[in-house]
Amino acid sequence: MLAAVKTAHEYLDSLRARKLRLFVDGALVTSPVDHPKVRPAINAVAATYALAHDERHAHLATSHSDLVGRRVNRFTALFRERDDLLRKLELQRALGRLTGTCFQRCVGLDGVNALFLATHGRGDAHARFVTWLRGVQERDEMLNGAMTDPKGDRSKRPPEQADHYVRVVERRSDGVVIRGAKIHQTGAANAHQILVMPGQALRPGEEDFAIACALPVDAEGVTMVLGRQPSDERRGGPDAGNARFGGQECVVLFDDVFVPRDHVFLDGDVEACAELVSAFAGYHRASYGGCKPGNLDVLIGAADLVTRQNGVRRASHVRDKLTQMAHLTETIHAIGVGASAKGKVHASGVWQVDTVLANVCKHHVTSLPYEIVRLAEDLAGGAMSTLPSIADLDHPELGETLRLVAGGRERASALRLIESMAYGAGSVPFRIECMHGAGSPQAQRVVLEREIDWDAKVARARVLAGLDPDPDLDGV
Amino acid sequence: MLAAVKTAHEYLDSLRARKLRLFVDGALVTSPVDHPKVRPAINAVAATYALAHDERHAHLATSHSDLVGRRVNRFTALFRERDDLLRKLELQRALGRLTGTCFQRCVGLDGVNALFLATHGRGDAHARFVTWLRGVQERDEMLNGAMTDPKGDRSKRPPEQADHYVRVVERRSDGVVIRGAKIHQTGAANAHQILVMPGQALRPGEEDFAIACALPVDAEGVTMVLGRQPSDERRGGPDAGNARFGGQECVVLFDDVFVPRDHVFLDGDVEACAELVSAFAGYHRASYGGCKPGNLDVLIGAADLVTRQNGVRRASHVRDKLTQMAHLTETIHAIGVGASAKGKVHASGVWQVDTVLANVCKHHVTSLPYEIVRLAEDLAGGAMSTLPSIADLDHPELGETLRLVAGGRERASALRLIESMAYGAGSVPFRIECMHGAGSPQAQRVVLEREIDWDAKVARARVLAGLDPDPDLDGV
Amino acid sequence: MLAAVKTAHEYLDSLRARKLRLFVDGALVTSPVDHPKVRPAINAVAATYALAHDERHAHLATSHSDLVGRRVNRFTALFRERDDLLRKLELQRALGRLTGTCFQRCVGLDGVNALFLATHGRGDAHARFVTWLRGVQERDEMLNGAMTDPKGDRSKRPPEQADHYVRVVERRSDGVVIRGAKIHQTGAANAHQILVMPGQALRPGEEDFAIACALPVDAEGVTMVLGRQPSDERRGGPDAGNARFGGQECVVLFDDVFVPRDHVFLDGDVEACAELVSAFAGYHRASYGGCKPGNLDVLIGAADLVTRQNGVRRASHVRDKLTQMAHLTETIHAIGVGASAKGKVHASGVWQVDTVLANVCKHHVTSLPYEIVRLAEDLAGGAMSTLPSIADLDHPELGETLRLVAGGRERASALRLIESMAYGAGSVPFRIECMHGAGSPQAQRVVLEREIDWDAKVARARVLAGLDPDPDLDGV
Amino acid sequence: MLAAVKTAHEYLDSLRARKLRLFVDGALVTSPVDHPKVRPAINAVAATYALAHDERHAHLATSHSDLVGRRVNRFTALFRERDDLLRKLELQRALGRLTGTCFQRCVGLDGVNALFLATHGRGDAHARFVTWLRGVQERDEMLNGAMTDPKGDRSKRPPEQADHYVRVVERRSDGVVIRGAKIHQTGAANAHQILVMPGQALRPGEEDFAIACALPVDAEGVTMVLGRQPSDERRGGPDAGNARFGGQECVVLFDDVFVPRDHVFLDGDVEACAELVSAFAGYHRASYGGCKPGNLDVLIGAADLVTRQNGVRRASHVRDKLTQMAHLTETIHAIGVGASAKGKVHASGVWQVDTVLANVCKHHVTSLPYEIVRLAEDLAGGAMSTLPSIADLDHPELGETLRLVAGGRERASALRLIESMAYGAGSVPFRIECMHGAGSPQAQRVVLEREIDWDAKVARARVLAGLDPDPDLDGV
């Protein structure tokens, strides 16, 4: 029985029940679920609920939870064995392919696992967290994993920044009051709860910023502002491209929001926060080996489709470019799988990905999709960006000629899909997320440099150069 | 005296005098000059007029014309010496940097020179063309160089296509009647005349498509439809990015348009058309070594600006990425210069660029700018695409906090500029034009393979491998 | 007890017992084990024996065999579970790091597994093969997996080729007689037996070439010729670089060699051969995700060492280049791991790698190591290739000054190690093997194009473009 | 009349007249001209003499000299007009193609021009230099341009280094005494004179290192040691690849060598040395746009040849790879041409290349040829590195079979040519010189970062982002 697993429709209903304070383009939105700039992102989240009830996908989309003693939506579940890491990746690829965009629940999933292990062995924090998580699983909630603070001048530490870093401004017996902002908040306006976590490793003296806690998205003092996306005016119109599904990033403002003690998981424990941030980064950087290959499957399919419409699908350079697109796509996927397969179990019982390979994965995600998009633009042809509006193609007088000029209305739709992923609203949850999600490129290089065992490599090179005796193969 | 050189204001006035039939988003536009989706592209063209009257740039922006016996705007002039090819490139770089976009007059310039040499030695066609060109120079007209036909199924030849390929449907004693469409028409709605040219090499039996002629943009039967650009709804609003300047591509429909004999330069001469197409491709592929480095200067500057605002300008990886962006930008420019410096004079007296190097130039333009844009997105940070609208930043209640969160209003503007070039309306005349302008990537590879002297290379390899005697250095 | 696992010394002794007919530089070699151009490659194989007796590596270097009921050297073992594929990769990485070169037993290992599954369900061939394999495991033999025929003109099929393709020239009641040659034979002269397999998929009518069988390396009629390697004259001298370990490729000539029936596993079964070739390619293309990262560890270590000697190790560009080298190295490894982790079990009980990811792995191996070598050459500095000989550095009169000029004798040795991998004898089993081992780059692209499900991608793109109803998420 | 221009034979005779002290592999060489490891490099220099007497090339290979009033070998001439820079590049390409290697006279040529302008306006130094140069031109001498000092620990300045940096150890009334070493000395053993120059910019307090002077290669106290090259044992044998032509790098030791005052051009003038070093770097970095494309022509030809021999020349992936090789080769050439075409005249009357583009040129030379070599290795197939020795192919018993296996003796020779350029002796003057000649990659990035006008780019970006008024196009 899947009592703990919502359907897509139950999810939509549950969103309407919230009293969310959301601004879009300078105006307060009363019904986010029905707003054309918001709805596509909700649809993408809804897919994560739908798949849990789809018999072809349920083995991936749900997972057994020891906490509640039954299967739950995988996006609320712990990684209890190595294969959970691999199944997560397969689920992400399926969803990425089905929606062609970001389905927004991975930050919550990765945050839940990172908090589970970071609170482990740290007193009653862990028990509070587990209790809270049980509720999330039972209600099958969508979480907004809130990490990134607005950094302003990067040369300054959090306490030197202005008021916008999220931090504790008051500690009461019954809870804490937090203030500040989180930016780049994926799917925030589509969530039930916000899981606040620190956005970076912190130092002694920065304890006020070492806060991890949970609160409803419509808690008193919370305001969200929708990020503007390229071509977002086309949402709900015929030029939208991927009309049904989209991504979402919000600014979330915390104007002295009270969080009751039960939902405060870390407060001032700088060390635990470091482990949290590091574990989250590992999970989330490997994640891109799942979702983005799924998105890229769609882009490849769209580019393939246009070449068929253009009658050039069998040209050797077209075949080679499509093969290259697939090659690079599978590269990302394979590295994500590799990072998962080399995972290790944490003392808390949760499995973690391989840190080096997770960073290798994400680092490629900051460049390979760009090359794949470039190839898609090559195959699409210039019409992708010079085509008149669909309104012109449907014009009573001009339409017939223009549809002929455009190579047909189907071709126009295929081009709009590519355009939306390369330049439109779809590019934010796709390309820009590839670049900056889970850390910008340099963040991965820093981790790689730190984690590689340089001395071991030098030591073996010295042996083979004849400078040192061989401790391993002296008998050969 | 520069009587033959219009000012920017004279250019704008002259546009208003036209009775252009232009559709935008399904509706007829009565005053294109004032339309927010059209005006930025007109401004960019206007810059080509303004520079001719700017003493710092006049030596580049004007050129002496033997035809009219005085200096004319360089965009109407013939390449009379090798240095004209180099000065054209310098002018393009200056304009590309000043406008940050496509200024739309190069197709006309390259078309004029290609037609000059293709008509040379072909009877009175050349005289007709020269007479017409003299008028263009005297009136300093902006030309829409119209080449690309809608190709539909690429496996079909023009006569097998539907009605949309431009061709002669009737030949009268006083002229010809043409029918069809041209797509990807850069700056078409901002021009005075259309210079129709064939879009590809033609074969015997395809003479009806071998038509080169000129006609006013508002000739009876001409209709233009503006191409839709990403984020074009932002035009004229605060989120526009590069608010003042933009590019433009139109579909141009020819509904049985009459062209008088005096303005018909080629009709049915398949061989001359082949020379025309080849010469045009050479000029225009080298052109990208001028304008795009100028555009990229702006992108580099914007990325640099954001890193200064973020306080990371001196970080080694930031410096390295900016240097790489400049390195790649100068690469494109250098190859364009190289293609020009190795130019040769045509029998007509006009100089032509080196075919191989021109194709090498354009081919790099189909990839290097993509990498530069990728680096810009890296340096810009995710806020480029998750920032709320400027309306939010100006909101009376939320604005102050959001501006703080956004790192300041200036930073928001810098990000919008990068966004507009990477994802917005600015990306069409920039990135997509890099890919498909003057031929898609494969077009350049085809020319390169055809032009390289493979046998000469093999011959020398055979000598050095000891397989053949040495015809060059036998005495060494 | 490891009775079935030879030590390194037992391996060397067993080699001396052979009556191998081996030519080197035009001369017959009487004692290959002691020949300076042969010995380094033997040492590398010996490492595979030594590790099986090293307690730190035995869990990787040995594996339980159901066939003989005890642990055997992993290089003779079947892949009985998914983790065997992963352990193989870890073993390869360890050996690649320890030897810095190719240890030559993987072709045999992959061939054994491929033959096991290709003979499965094909009558008594499988039983004959299993019996033979049991003996190989019990004697812990090194196998020369012989696949590649000399292709000459690639546009011809095997029967159109001259005599050099290996094929059956006579079938007797007690066995077959084979004739022809195999080229690129890794470690052939260091093996006990040759496992002959077809080098490509065959067609009906080419049954004589569909031969898989085993024979001793010193069978009557077998002649081997050592391939010449760059700088192989330095072998055994002070300029050798990696003095102890090396790789080996031979031409193996079969001059009407008789193979008894018991050792003939496939003869004329074109279908089984296709499965064999395909399975082998999969295994071997994933293999490179193990050994080459190990080799690259050494190269990275050597480059790191030189930068320390040069006092520039902390320069930001040096750190970045070393990090990039490691990033690319781990990329290859991760994809190999991914290909293994997505493996599936064959009906015979043997596990197979994921075909797409295995080809993605090998395809990157044809380029990424080249970039890593390039970076190593960058960091090494020009002295790597302009340094006088070590004889000069040891010269009684000049030596002291030259050692000073060279930055010390240790630096000279480090540079020679890099040189040997980039340009010397070490480059054949390293760089060239990366390019052509298990198939040249195009071979992988062909498989990728064939294996990718293009139609599925197109189908989903059509749905998201709004052209088809959604069969998966219609309720969302 | 070309009295000032030696023939190839006169050059060889003049070399024999020297009393050079040269060590090779630890032994003093009595007749360098006839030593198999030295002669190929002499042959390559001889080509520069031969071309001056070849009517097809004399317009490139000679140049008028105002100093002596007649044509001289271009390698001794000043750049008196912009086209001299372009003709130099064309000459280099021709020689690079004819020899397939480094012809070793460019350092001298670039050094002569750099010293001409660096001494200009600095008292009688310039007159001394001009007098000396006149003699060089009249005798048509080959110069060893000696710049690079052995750097040891790069974190130390020259005075902190041990004795091996070249510097003045004694100043007498009649001249100076210098001590130290120069490394990477291209063609040193094939020269008539050494032109000593400082290897880097120097600071006040380092005046003793600021020495530029000339001396005969066989001056008292000069010793040369030949650098060891990969596969150099093959020189003079059938496996050599490019048997006739090669490059050369030496260590040159100065053991208290006296240089008379007339041949001392700079001594202690740190500022002049900075100009010298900078000017030389510019010239020499652009130089690679000439010679290396010529070398690459040979490599492309050899790869093409092998694909013809293999019967795959028309396969689409083969054609695409060859086209890519040519595309990248022409890229390098075009940038070199661009750097020359944007040259400017120095106050001394000598023309200088564009600094930014020269560095862009050389920077690409540190990577593009590596990719071209990689493609050549791809097309060559594995046989390039697994082929038995030619002695085996010529073996009376095995030869016939092995030649068949090898695809013919001609194919073996073609493969050896590719091997020699990729891995053999030919790789030093080709690939490694591409990397480190005229400065390692980082040296170019440092110059690029320094020379780019970042503020100008930021300023324009600010204008287009609407942050500042427009100083250029305010009227538009």
Using a CB-CB distance cutoff of 8 angstroms, which residues of chain D are in contact with residue A316?
316-317, 320
pLDDT at C123 over 90: no
| pLDDT tens digit sequence for B342-393 | 999 999 999 999 999 999 999 999 999 999 999 999 999 999 999 999 999 9
> What are the pLDDT digits (tens) for C377-408?
999 999 999 999 999 999 999 999 999 999 99
Is B19 strand, coil or helix? coil
Q: Which of C298, C319, C339 sits opposite A461 (nearest CB)?
A: C298
**Mutant choice from B24, B156, B312, B386 vs A, greatest count of A C-beta within 10 A:** B386
Contact in structure between B26 and A395 (CB atoms under 8 Å): yes
Q: What letter does residue A165 receive in the DSSP assignment?
A: B
pLDDT tens digits, one per residue of C36-82: 999 999 999 999 999 999 999 999 999 999 999 999 999 999 999 99
Query: Is A250 assigned a catalytic role?
Result: no
**Cβ of residue A317 closer than 8 Å to a chain D Cβ:** yes
Q: How far is D394 from chain A (nearest CA, A)?
A: 36
Task: Select from D143, D91, D138 the least CA-distant residue to D114.
Answer: D143
Closest CB from A322, A341, A473 relative to C338: A341
**In angstroms, rounded to a whole number, what is the distance separating the alpha carbons of residues C194 and C166?**
13
d(CA D266, CA D196): 10
The answer to whether the Cβ–Cβ distance between A154 and B230 falls below 8 Å is no
Cross-strand partners of A65? A70
The verdict on B125 touching A (C-beta cutoff 8 Å) is: no
% chain B with pLDDT above 70: 99
Q: Does A327 touch chain D (CB under 8 A)?
A: no
Phi-psi region of B175 (alpha: psi -120 to 50; beta: other; left: phi over 0): left
Name the D residues in 385-444 with CB < 8 Å from any C CB: 385-389, 391-392, 394-395, 398, 401-402, 404-407, 419, 423-424, 427-428, 431-433, 435-437, 440-442
Chains linked to B by 3 or more Cβ pairs within 8 Å: A, C, D
For the segment D364-378, the average pLDDT, to the nearest whole number, is: 98
Please report, as a single letter, which amino acid is at residue D454.
W
In chain C, whose CA is at the least distance from the CA of B320? C317
Instruction: Over range C430-449, report the average pLDDT.
Output: 96
Position A475 scores a pLDDT of 67
Q: Where are the alpha helices (DSSP H) in C38-195?
A: 39-51, 58-61, 82-99, 106-119, 124-139
Percent over 90 (pLDDT), chain C: 95
Nearest to A298 among C245, C361, C460 (CB): C460
Contacts of B438 (CB under 8 A, 6+ apart): B281, B284, B285, B287, B288, B362
Whose tokens are 């359907």? That residue is A7
pLDDT at res. A203 = 95
Task: Tell me which residue of C10, C12, C32, C34 sits closest to C22, measured CA to CA.
Answer: C32
Q: Which residues of D121-143 are buried (b: 16+ CB within 10 A; e: fewer)?
A: eeeebbebbbebbbebbbebbbb
- What contacts 24+ positions apart, CB below 8 Å, involve D30-37? D32/D189, D32/D190, D36/D235, D36/D236, D37/D226, D37/D229, D37/D232, D37/D235, D37/D236
Please report, as a single letter, which amino acid is at residue A298: V
In whole angstroms, what separates CA B251 from the centre of its chain? Answer: 16
Q: What are phi and psi of B430, to 5 degrees?
A: -105, -75
Name the neighbours of A, counting chains with at least 3 Cβ pairs within 8 A. Answer: B, C, D
Six-digit token pair at B383?
């806020």
List the chains bordering chain D where 3 or more Cβ pairs fall under 8 Å.
A, B, C
Determine contact, residues D169/D256, Cβ cutoff 8 Å.
yes
Classify A62 as helix, strand or coil: strand
- The answer on pLDDT for C3 being more than 60 is no
Contacts of D242 in chain B (CB under 8 A): 464-465
Please state, for a pLDDT cut of 90, what percent of chain D lies above it.
95
Neighbours of chain C (3+ CB pairs under 8 A): A, B, D
Catalytic residue among A288, A364, A366, A419: A288
pLDDT in tens, D34-66: 999 999 999 999 999 999 999 999 999 999 999
CA–CA gap between residue D355 and residue B136 (Å, rounded): 39
CA distance to partner chain D, nearest, from residue B264 (Å): 34
What mean pLDDT, rounded, does chain D reach?
Answer: 96
Place B475 in a pLDDT band, splitting at 50, 70 and 90. Answer: low
A253 forms bridges with which residues in the sheet?
A181, A223
- Is the minimum CB–CB distance between C320 and chain B shorter than 8 Å? yes
Max Cα-Cα span within chain C? 87
Q: Which domains does chain A have, with CATH numbers?
A: 1-454 (1.20.140.10)
Check: CB of residue C407 under 8 Å from CB of residue C310. yes
DSSP 3-state assignment of A143?
A: strand
Residue whose structure tokens are 């055809």: B450
Looking at the predicted complex, does its ipTM rise above 0.90?
yes
Question: Which residues between 272 and 291 in chain A have a beta carbon less than 8 angstroms from any beta carbon of chain B?
Answer: none
What are C177-235's pLDDT values in tens digits? Answer: 999 999 999 999 999 999 999 999 999 999 999 999 999 999 999 999 999 999 999 99
pLDDT of residue C1: 43
pTM of the model: 0.97
Name the band, by pLDDT with cuts 50, 70 and 90, for residue B152.
confident
Determine whether B273 is an active site residue.
no
Annotation marks residue D49 as catalytic: no
The alpha-carbon gap from C222 to the nearest alpha carbon of chain D, in Å, equals 12
Q: Tens of pLDDT along B236-275?
A: 899 999 999 999 999 999 999 999 999 999 999 999 999 9
The conformation of residue B428, written as its DSSP 8-state character, comes to I
Chain-centre distance of CA C61, in angstroms?
Answer: 16
A35 touches B at CB < 8 Å: no
Mean pLDDT of C318-344: 98
* Closest CB to B460 among D301, D356, D460: D301
- Distance set, CA B20 to CA B213, B224, B275, B327, D220 (Å): 19, 8, 32, 43, 86
Are C428 and D385 within 8 A, CB to CB? yes
The β-bridge relationship of strands D193-196 and D211-216 is antiparallel
Low-confidence ranges of chain A (pLDDT < 70): 1-3, 475
pLDDT band at B56 (very low <50, low <70, confident <90, very high): very high
Question: Which letter, b or e, does each residue of D83-114 get, where b requires 16 or more Cβ atoms within 10 Å of its Cβ?
Answer: ebbbbbbbbbbbbbbbbbbbbbbbbbbbbbbb
Chain A contact present for B258, CB below 8 A: no
* Residue of C23, C398, C404 with shortest CB distance to D392: C23
